[in-house]
Amino acid sequence: MKVFLTGATGYIGSVVAERLLEHGHEVLGLARSDQAAAHLHARGVEPLSGDLADAGRLIEGATRADAVIHLAQSRFDPGGDFAAQMQQMGQQATRAMGAFLRALSGSGKTLMLTGGTGAYGDTGDSIVDEDTPLPESPMTAALAENERRVLTAAGVRGMAVRPAIVYGRGGGPLTLQLSMARQFGGVMFTGDGENALSFVHVDDVADLYVRLLERGEAGMVLNAVAEPWVTQGDVLRAVSEAAGFGGVIQPMPEEMARGLAYGGGGLFARNMRVSARKARAFGWTPRRPSVLDDLRHGSYAQQGNPA
């Protein structure tokens, strides 16, 4: 198949592109700059110049391909308003989905949307899976509506993936934790540090996208989560080891936690007990090193070592 991939130069998208090529698919990647286009070309991806604000380019890419995988999103500012940024991301996706659905309606082609397990909110002590309704929230309303539009679109093989916190290959949100460790001379946790977090390796996520592309059915929504979950404290102790602070962590001042909505006070402070029950029933099995192993012995080891 020929796949139009947005976010092809990004953290997850670059690995998805790599895996698609390994499976014999052609990849047409959205490129926001000449530098991005050259990078894609060097990796065997055909570049299409444009960005998410250019509906004409999105329609062109979708029309030229057999499938669309939408992975592009705006970058989070760790010091910014997490809720506002989530809303902005949803609005951006709404515009992109409008263009894709105009191009693909009635074609029978594939449209795959990327969400995230953050849409479940704080799960508390409960375990959520793909059948759990998303809570009503202004922060994620647009994302939930975009999922509904894609999954119910007439004549479109619409599917959605909800990744947990993605790690691996030395990238993703964990690099922010390592950067914070360097900046503040240590690793800090929020709350009591015992909240549960769900993670998934970037290569395992890429495997799921390709599996869905090749075998998925219209209407499928799958969580990309490597179980079991781990506590914030355990993750940050491993971050501390990777950063050269010997596994020591300390409480984060409440005012700082509020100011670091994405890096500390939001994403890592909530409970995220998420199951990938349906993804596993679909035959997807995460097989890369756990987040703790990758931090201590893998791609993050000694990245942030102050020495």
pLDDT class of 80 with cuts at 50, 70, 90: low
Structure token digits, residue 157? 């093989």
Give 148's contacts (C-beta < 8 A, 6+ positions apart): none
Structure token digits, residue 277? 């029950």
Q: Give me the architecture of the 2-163+202-224+275-280 domain, per CATH.
A: 3-Layer(aba) Sandwich (3.40)
Mean pLDDT of 61-89: 79
Residue 111 contacts residue 158 (beta carbons within 8 Å)? yes
Taken in order 239, 244, 249, 253, the sign of the CA dihedral is negative
Q: Is the pLDDT of residue 217 over 50?
A: yes
This prediction's pTM:
0.93
Burial (Cβ within 10 Å: 0-12, 13-18, ≥19) of residue 223: buried
pLDDT tens for 125-158 read: 999 999 999 998 877 788 889 999 999 999 999 9
AA identity, residue 154: A
pLDDT class of 282 with cuts at 50, 70, 90: very high
CA nearest neighbour of 216 among 224, 208, 226, 228: 208
Q: Is the pLDDT of residue 274 over 70?
A: yes
Task: State the pLDDT at residue 302.
Answer: 63
Task: State the pLDDT at residue 266.
Answer: 66
pLDDT class of 198 with cuts at 50, 70, 90: very high
Round to whole Å and give the CA distance between 97 and 88: 14
